[in-house]
Structure 1
Amino acid sequence: MFVGRRAELAALAGAWARTPGAALVVGEAGIGKSRLVAEFTRQVDALVVAGGADPGNVAYAAFVPVLRRLVRAYGPELVPGGGRHGLARLLPELGEAGEHRDLGRARLFEEALLLVERAAERRPLVLVLEDLHWADRAGRDLLAFLLRNLTRPGPLIVATSREPLRLPGATVIRVPPLATDDVAALLGPDADPGEVARIAARSEGNPLFVEALAEAGGAAARTPASLRELLLAGAERLGRASLDVLRVAAVAGRSTPHEVLRSVAGLDDLALDDALRPVVSARLLLVDGDAYVFRHALIRDAVYEDLLPGERRRLHARCAEAWPEQAADHWYAAGDRRRAFDAAWRAGRWERVLDLWDPAHPAPADHAEVLALAARDALHAGDAVRAEELATRALGEVGDDPLRAARLLELRVAIRDLLGEDGLDDLRLAVRLAPRESRLIGALATTLYWNGQDAEARAHATAALALGDTPSLVTLAALTALDGDLDAAATLYARARASAPDDDTLLISYAGEADVLEAAGEHAGAEAAARRGLAQAEHLGMVRSRGAHLASNLGETLVSLGRHQEARAVLDAALALDPPPIHRAWVLLVRGAVALLDGEPDAAEDLLGQARPLMRGRSRGYDSCLEPDLLEAKLALARADTGRAGRLVEHVLTEHDLTLSRRYAWPLLVVAARLGRIHVAPAGIATTGLVQRAHRATFEAECGGSWAAAVAAWRAVGQPYALAQALVRAAGQDRAAAGDSLREAAAIAERIGSPPLRREVAAAAAAARVSLAGDPGLSPRELEVLRLVAEGLSNRQIAERLFISARTSGVHVSNILAKLGVASRVEAAALARRDGVV
């Protein structure tokens, strides 16, 4: 019976009216969370699919039944490739999962999102996820990803938990204890009022305890020995066959398929039905499709704990024989470690295999191989730290097998790459161990390129290409662009795309081309390449991983073009997808740069703080390493914190080799020169392309050179913000041209919509006494009159000051008002002060 909970049902109905969205139902064990959700789903016209978490489950366990039900209902064709790239890692019936450099997690998330959204397009959809307090980290990450990215009406996620969880945008519904009136309604109209009061007090309004106390009878309800006795009171009234089936279900797990229950119980269909009917009628077990679930986990625990140790072991062994998918856990619980090991091996439960490893027992592979397999699983589940630990342990055990060691090093490089760490040393060693492995040589070439070691990068890329590693074309294209031959580079990028062996290489080629074009000042071409890549990433289901990389490329180019609002939209959309660490870091840094340019230093500080922990070591080479340093230095200058900026510049100059950076050496040297920390650039700093030449011209101007040269350099690049800043500095160096320079800078600031740039220009105009309104056509005499008007003089006083007649003075004032387009002397004076005329 369902009683009360009107406010909670109304809250769920409100969440349903606002799809897409989520509701988190929170309450203690037995408080009625599941019953509330069941009543809600009974009332809605929707497809309801349910899953749940359980202690000790494998990754994504709460989602497997949900995703499997949707695939069965609508078919795997709802997602690109029929789900074989990502969902197949959870649903083996879709086929063998493909291998990808991002190791599947990004594909899995995006395919799950597409499956839910497209299923909801066919019929309104409610996803019920029970007991999320037991959910694994990977499952919670997937849930958070779905909540951030479900945008189309139709799906509602309803989750239950014993404790509050941080779920983005979820409506939190706390289930309170039942009032005494609700307890009376639950017990029925014939319940004795005194008994109702005693049960309400003893149960503290927990519906599960209310029912257990009532089922135990009056005397037992008054003096229960323990909660377990209360929970088992209903079970003790069952017949022997029904109780045996209930015990089998308790051993089997939270949810037991009908076929497993029949096999373990040893009953035919009719006998099983007869045994189950009293159990279901007592609501100890509930029917869930073709399986049976306990009404509450506490009931299962109580039944399980009531078993004798020998009974548990025997039932676990029978469950293992009847249920191959769960055999490893059941053999383990039965105390048969050898059979548990064999079952875990067959199921690919590598962490369990490691737990059960016994050197005395033969195995299909050695311990190092299992460590490597477990490392891949940990990475799939989102635990890159555990993956790195396992891969490192495996490396220590492979002995004298150079090829295996090289491949393990490659795996660790992929893991550390997602952690934001440099893999250059591992790759060098891997290539020494396996000098004919073209993929390893190509990866080393790419990392050398990131670290500014161009000659060695070119040699390795050429060697890898000769051995058949076509992705090395991307590295050769980037190196060719550095030589200044963008046409030849474009040809190489096109070849790389035409021969790309996988989707990842295809998208890397677009990102690489966008990056080199942006660095060369070819902003239009960079924008086009990034947008083409983003479209491909969306088509391939990789918008979260490589798509985020391309979003950072596009955002950077849009900032260069002065289109800040567009950049914000692109970058915020990428961040909402919760990309992998290194890709997220790049997006955060560009987003931080936009915030700083738009006068939001606190937001920029926060974004920088989020990015730095994701970029450990020399992440992706010197340019990526120096990018957060540059943003922090600019942030310190914006806040007039010269001490912080100076300390950062000192760190960069002493701890980093700026000759290895192609993008950020000159901008950092500009900051150092502005602070007076350096007056001569270190030898060997590369100056490739229009953008770097403009930064060098700015550095030279900061050191006493020509700001006009810096203006000309930025004008050639076409970056309006940098051009406006150079124009402001040029105005201070050339007073005769200050008016034109500052008015152009003011126009740029208005077009971009940057408050800091507006303030910078206005301050310079006031200091130079320059009007920013353009030339109103005032004659020298009229300018003299306007200054006197601004001082508050009357026409007669102006006439006396200038030795002219009062009539002539009045004519001048009338002409001034007309030319300025104002209606009064007060407005004219205010305009003169604002524009620096006075």
Structure 2
Amino acid sequence: MAAAAASALEAADDSGRAEAHVAGPWHDEIVTMSAAAMIGRGADLSRLDERLDEVRAGAPFTVIVGGEAGIGKTRLIREFERHLPSDVRLLAGQCVDLGSVAAPYAPVKTALRALVADVGAAPVLEAVGPGRAALVALLPELAAESGEVGAPGAGIAAGQLHEGIAVLLETFSRERPIVFVIEDLHWIDAASLALLRFLLRALGSSRVLTVLSYRTEDVTRGHPVRSFLSEAERDRWVERLELGRLSKAQVKRLVKSLIVDEAPNDRVLETVFRRSDGIPFFVEELVGIDGCRDEGFVPDTLRELLLARYERLPESAQALLRLISTGGVRVSHALLAQVYHGDDAELDDAARQCVLYGVITIDGDDYSFRHALVREAILDDLLPGERARFHARYAEAYEAAAEAGSRRLAAEISYHWLGAHNAVRAFPATLQAMREARAAAAYATAAQLGERALELWDVVPDPETAAGMGKLELMGRTASHLRNAGEVERGLALVKAALAECPRDEPQYPRFLRDKALYLAAIGKPGSIPLLEEGLEVLGDDGDPEILAGSLATLAGRLMIEGRTGEAIETAERGLAVALEHDLPRSASISMNIAAVSRAVRGEVDRGLEMLAEARELAEGDGAALLRYWVNASDIAYLIGDYTEAVRLAEDGLGRARAQGVERSSGVLLASNAVDPLFALGEWERGGEIIERALSLDPPGPFTVYLQRARIWSMLWRGDPTGAADALRRVRPMMAAVQEVEMQTRLAVGQMAAEVALANDDLAGAWGEIRGILHEQHPLHPGYAHPGFWVAARIIAAIAARPHAVPEGVADEAGSSVARIRQLLEAASFWPHHEIWVALVEAELAEASEGAGAQVPGTDAAAWRRAVDVTEREGVPRYLHPYALLRLGEAQLAAADRASARATLQLALDRAEAGGVTAVRERVERVAATAAIVLDGAHRAAGGEVAGIAGAAASDADAAATAELTARERQVLELIAEGLSNRQIGERLFISGKTASVHVSAILRKLGAATRTEAAYRAGALR
């Protein structure tokens, strides 16, 4: 299929426009057809109207209309547009067919230009705020209209443009609801598709109804729109309308609505239905052939049907249609006049005949085919030489238009010169199109054009002179565009190819090594450090200072992330020296930053904080370096317990990331840094909102891991352990890749996964998740390790209480690891709030000296009192205090101190409720119910059963009786309380069901209980 002109605005209708179509004189007569009625689409139209009503009320929505060619997609959308209320603003665009690489943002530009024409350039630029530079890069004519100065496109990121357009639509939708239409997604360019992905998630507070259409048979396996549709289907604010074929009765109604002078007979109607297969456009074409008066005029093939009107035109009109078809579905009269070889009168006469015969229609100053299928059939009819000549004419016309105007047309020029088989002229046009796409932050399109230029490199003479760069530089730039477009794997493959072609002594060789290292890190793959070290070896001390300083800073960062702290400090300070010597403030700030964090991790916390402040001063005025400062400064603030400052730093950085258009990368990292301190402050909802917003931006893999880790952990503490386990299973493969190369991710994800397993009673799985913390090769990051030590202690205690619940050998390994945990804790004693985690670890492991808790870890009330005291201090995660209170209450019950236990559990319930710690609140309620303790404000989920058994409230005598139980009987009693049968108890403890029954009988006898349930409640002192 050939391309549409750059000026193309909208597609021809799928099922005929509302205006009358006039059929040509098949046998010296003109058959008059009335306006085609819209048949069989009433429900679909009503659905669009309903969605618009919801949008007007403040809920954004997207409707995706799909169907085969000719089924009536465009007709449905036109009918919907025609009846829009006057207060609704319509912004519409159509994707154009430019082969495999379409002009970037073509449909979006059309829609936005309609907005500019409606309200003016100045209000649009004012509304877009920080994104004005990006919008000017997309629509360069805005610079002249608004008086903007500067170099449009310089330093513009795709995210900045996406955010700017989202802000623009949101802003104007507050004034008037917006219907945002993009048709023919099967031809969409990569940049526009990425924008639509963003808008579907980002327009959450707008009054925008997005309507998209696509041709189903053209979205085949591997088509980028296919994955877009799959993603969209999972969004509850997206609905897909698949248009079906018309029934026989509907076809008859459509035919009768088209024929004015006489009704066709039943035989002809049956023929039209059979030949059209119920596709409205084909019905209209068949009716247009002599009004369907004679079955003999019905073509045998689809091609004959599509070309029926065309073939009855004079040769001059057919030649014009072949010329128009080369330009696209829609071509402006001005462009057509330039490429038409004939005088104006001949052009007008030929065009008039094409319109009279119903092959093309007039819309403003444009000619458009009544349907894309007709254009495709005519295009296929072109002779090879004819096609090449026509493409050359369009290419020359676009070149002249580009020289005379401000609009970017290099993509069209490249496409047409390729169609003309003129590689020499297509090559520079392709490179210019790549630059234009980069200026508009259309990285995906820029990458496609770069790859096209590389394909042409060996075909054209002296490509280096024509390109203004060498092949290796072009490969590097194209790889960079691929990385910025999110195609890191393809970018990595191109960098590998460049390294294979680049001699080791070339100055670009170490740069490619650095790029390969960065790409590997971006997708969470190992191997970055050896590459960076090789690059530094090649550079030597006298290499390019900028590459040297940058490579040292990058290497230092990777060493820090992998836990090689000493090497990170040494490398970062070497990079700092090079950067300061050669006045490279960005590299100096980043190196200082990494050295600061690494020193803090090693124990020089105060010095590290001072160096971070110095890194902030060095970064002044440099957006990238400032973002790096905010990332690490907010992380350190959180890890040392300054949660309010951590949130402030992260949100300051997030605001700057949005302004710079990197919310999807650095912004997501900063968002994840805001989430953990918000959770620590008890602001669960606010943290959850940030997670959802950041995930909606479809961030790179490692950043998604950070967000998902926080999300799953919050689900756990908010009382949904099953949901947390399901979510973890879905994202675990992605997490594993990042864990392999990042110590902090290994520690954080390992802790979270262990807690999830523990909450779901998978003790062996929990130990398997956490044991790695004890065997790290490099010194542990104390801020991430301390919580892991506490989780490890919880798991060890749980296994000690139920050793038969884990496979043989696990209990021994866990028990023998206590000394290792204490050793690692002592090594991290310099870290702020170290004593908090020590108190929690010791409380989890301490055994009561007597009573029901004797020889059961975690039952020493005195140890839990210390934990309660330290967790009440400032700078402690707020979920820890209600947890410590809960555990103290359980220990008091184990010691038969029911009065103290009730007071403690009541306080735990109140604090958990106030802090939103649902998991703790629910466990407090279970413990209290089991002990028949009534708490104020407790949820009575068990209803009458709990109330009924409460009459047999546990007494001191019950506690004394419980103390007489053996250790094995206490284990069995715990499983009775869980509701397990004798057989299940036997499987859990690796004993026979009969032996379990013997233990149950002994428990009932000792407690004086008549039933298993009563035994569980009488033994309320037991956890």
Superposition TM-score tier, normalisation by shorter sequence: 0.7 to 0.9
User: Kindly tell me: are residues 306 and 377 of structure 1, through their superposed partners in 2, closer, same or farther at Cα, counting changes over 3 Å?
Assistant: same
The correspondence of residues 206-605 of structure 1 with structure 2, limited to 5 A, is 206-217=279-290, 218=292, 222-267=297-342, 271-287=346-362, 291-324=366-399, 325=410, 326-348=412-434, 349-358=449-458, 361-364=461-464, 365-401=469-505, 403-421=507-525, 423-434=528-539, 436-437=545-546, 438-466=549-577, 467=579, 468=584, 469=587, 470-479=589-598, 481-482=600-601, 483=603, 485-486=605-606, 489=609, 492-493=612-613, 496=616, 499-605=619-725
Matches of 2:295 and 2:381 in 1, distance apart?
18
Matches of 2:633 and 2:366 in 1, distance apart?
53
2:773 touches 2:785 (CA, 8 Å); kept in 1? Answer: no
Matches of 1:608 and 1:622 in 2, distance apart?
19
Q: Which moved more, 1:25-34 or 1:612-621?
A: 612-621
1:497 touches 1:509 (CA, 8 Å); kept in 2? Answer: no
Q: Tell me what 2:161 maps to.
A: 108
Matches of 2:666 and 2:1018 in 1, distance apart?
49
User: Kindly tell me: are residues 385 and 294 of structure 1, through their superposed partners in 2, closer, same or farther at Cα, counting changes over 3 Å?
Assistant: farther
Matches of 1:733 and 1:479 in 2, distance apart?
40
Matched, 1:648 2:769: yes
Matches of 1:792 and 1:731 in 2, distance apart?
17
1:285 touches 1:293 (CA, 8 Å); kept in 2? Answer: yes
> CA deviation digits over 1:371-410, x for unaligned, max 9?
2222233234332222222122222222124541233334
Q: Which moved more, 1:28-37 or 1:683-692?
A: 683-692
User: Kindly tell me: are residues 598 and 259 of structure 1, through their superposed partners in 2, closer, same or farther at Cα, counting changes over 3 Å?
Assistant: same
Q: Which moved more, 1:730-739 or 1:577-586?
A: 730-739
Matches of 2:313 and 2:846 in 1, distance apart?
95
Q: Tell me what 1:125 maps to.
A: 178
Q: Which of residues 745, 748, 755 in structure 1 aligns to 2:918?
A: 755
CA deviation after TM superposition for structure 1 residue 137, in Å:
5.2
Matched, 1:142 2:195: yes
> CA deviation digits over 1:439-491, x for unaligned, max 9?
33222222322222333323333333341323334324434544454597267
Q: Tell me what 2:828 maps to.
A: 686
Q: Which moved more, 1:757-766 or 1:506-515?
A: 757-766
Matches of 1:154 and 1:770 in 2, distance apart?
52
Q: Tell me what 1:186 maps to.
A: 258
User: Kindly tell me: are residues 184 and 360 of structure 1, through their superposed partners in 2, closer, same or farther at Cα, counting changes over 3 Å?
Assistant: closer
User: TM-score if structure 2 supplies the norm length?
Assistant: 0.70
Matches of 1:124 and 1:272 in 2, distance apart?
42
User: Kindly tell me: are residues 291 and 600 of structure 1, through their superposed partners in 2, closer, same or farther at Cα, counting changes over 3 Å?
Assistant: farther
Matches of 1:216 and 1:268 in 2, distance apart?
32
Q: Tell me what 1:63 maps to.
A: 108
> CA deviation digits over 1:784-809, x for unaligned, max 9?
xxx9994599xxxxxxxxxxxxxxxx
Matches of 1:465 and 1:72 in 2, distance apart?
52
Q: Tell me what 1:13 maps to.
A: 49
User: Kindly tell me: are residues 209 and 732 of structure 1, through their superposed partners in 2, closer, same or farther at Cα, counting changes over 3 Å?
Assistant: closer
CA deviation after TM superposition for structure 1 residue 679, in Å:
1.4
- Look up the SS of the partner of 2:818 in the other structure: coil
Matched, 1:721 2:879: yes
Matches of 1:177 and 1:367 in 2, distance apart?
52
CA deviation after TM superposition for structure 1 residue 309, in Å:
2.1
Gaps of 5+ in 2: 1-34, 144-150, 217-225, 400-409, 435-448, 797-813, 848-862, 938-947, 955-1013
The aligned amino acid for 2:651 is: R
Q: Which of residues 24, 27, 37 in structure 2 aligns to 1:3?
A: 37
> CA deviation digits over 1:293-328, x for unaligned, max 9?
433221121001111222222222222322342232
Q: Which of residues 603, 608, 614 in structure 1 aligns to 2:728?
A: 608
User: Kindly tell me: are residues 66 and 145 of structure 1, through their superposed partners in 2, closer, same or farther at Cα, counting changes over 3 Å?
Assistant: same
Identity %: 31
Matched, 1:624 2:745: yes
CA deviation after TM superposition for structure 1 residue 535, in Å:
3.6
2:101 touches 2:189 (CA, 8 Å); kept in 1? Answer: yes
> CA deviation digits over 1:648-698, x for unaligned, max 9?
3345555x4362433333333434444432212265653453355433443
Alignment: residue pair count: 785
CA deviation after TM superposition for structure 1 residue 600, in Å:
1.4
Q: Which moved more, 1:513-522 or 1:723-732?
A: 723-732
2:932 touches 2:953 (CA, 8 Å); kept in 1? Answer: no
User: Kindly tell me: are residues 415 and 97 of structure 1, through their superposed partners in 2, closer, same or farther at Cα, counting changes over 3 Å?
Assistant: farther
Matches of 2:608 and 2:194 in 1, distance apart?
43
Matches of 2:484 and 2:166 in 1, distance apart?
17
Q: Which moved more, 1:448-457 or 1:70-79?
A: 70-79
- Look up the SS of the partner of 2:748 in the other structure: helix
User: Kindly tell me: are residues 543 and 328 of structure 1, through their superposed partners in 2, closer, same or farther at Cα, counting changes over 3 Å?
Assistant: closer
> CA deviation digits over 1:198-235, x for unaligned, max 9?
22332122122112223333557654242111111122
The aligned amino acid for 1:471 is: I
User: Kindly tell me: are residues 522 and 215 of structure 1, through their superposed partners in 2, closer, same or farther at Cα, counting changes over 3 Å?
Assistant: same
User: Kindly tell me: are residues 331 and 792 of structure 1, through their superposed partners in 2, closer, same or farther at Cα, counting changes over 3 Å?
Assistant: closer
CA deviation after TM superposition for structure 1 residue 619, in Å:
6.9
Q: Tell me what 1:784 maps to.
A: none
- Look up the SS of the partner of 1:127 in the other structure: strand
CA deviation after TM superposition for structure 1 residue 49, in Å:
2.3
Q: Which of residues 838, 841, 855 in structure 2 aligns to 1:699?
A: 841
User: Kindly tell me: are residues 675 and 618 of structure 1, through their superposed partners in 2, closer, same or farther at Cα, counting changes over 3 Å?
Assistant: closer
Matches of 1:259 and 1:500 in 2, distance apart?
51
Gaps of 5+ in 1: 775-786, 794-829
- Look up the SS of the partner of 2:241 in the other structure: strand
- Look up the SS of the partner of 2:179 in the other structure: strand
Matches of 1:159 and 1:610 in 2, distance apart?
30
Q: Which moved more, 1:398-407 or 1:386-395?
A: 398-407
Q: Which of residues 161, 165, 177 in structure 1 aligns to 2:214?
A: 161
Q: Tell me what 2:437 maps to.
A: none
Matches of 2:203 and 2:393 in 1, distance apart?
43
> CA deviation digits over 1:736-769, x for unaligned, max 9?
6655543432222222233321233345556778
1:772 touches 1:835 (CA, 8 Å); kept in 2? Answer: no
Cα RMSD, aligned residues only: 3.6
Q: Which moved more, 1:626-635 or 1:512-521?
A: 626-635
The aligned amino acid for 1:184 is: K
1:70 touches 1:119 (CA, 8 Å); kept in 2? Answer: no
Matches of 1:698 and 1:158 in 2, distance apart?
55
User: Kindly tell me: are residues 551 and 205 of structure 1, through their superposed partners in 2, closer, same or farther at Cα, counting changes over 3 Å?
Assistant: same
The correspondence of residues 739-750 of structure 1 with structure 2, limited to 5 A, is 741-750=904-913
Matches of 1:161 and 1:463 in 2, distance apart?
56
Q: Tell me what 1:670 maps to.
A: 790
2:932 touches 2:950 (CA, 8 Å); kept in 1? Answer: no
Matches of 1:458 and 1:501 in 2, distance apart?
25
User: Kindly tell me: are residues 130 and 763 of structure 1, through their superposed partners in 2, closer, same or farther at Cα, counting changes over 3 Å?
Assistant: closer
CA deviation after TM superposition for structure 1 residue 589, in Å:
1.4
User: Kindly tell me: are residues 17 and 739 of structure 1, through their superposed partners in 2, closer, same or farther at Cα, counting changes over 3 Å?
Assistant: closer
Q: Tell me what 1:823 maps to.
A: none
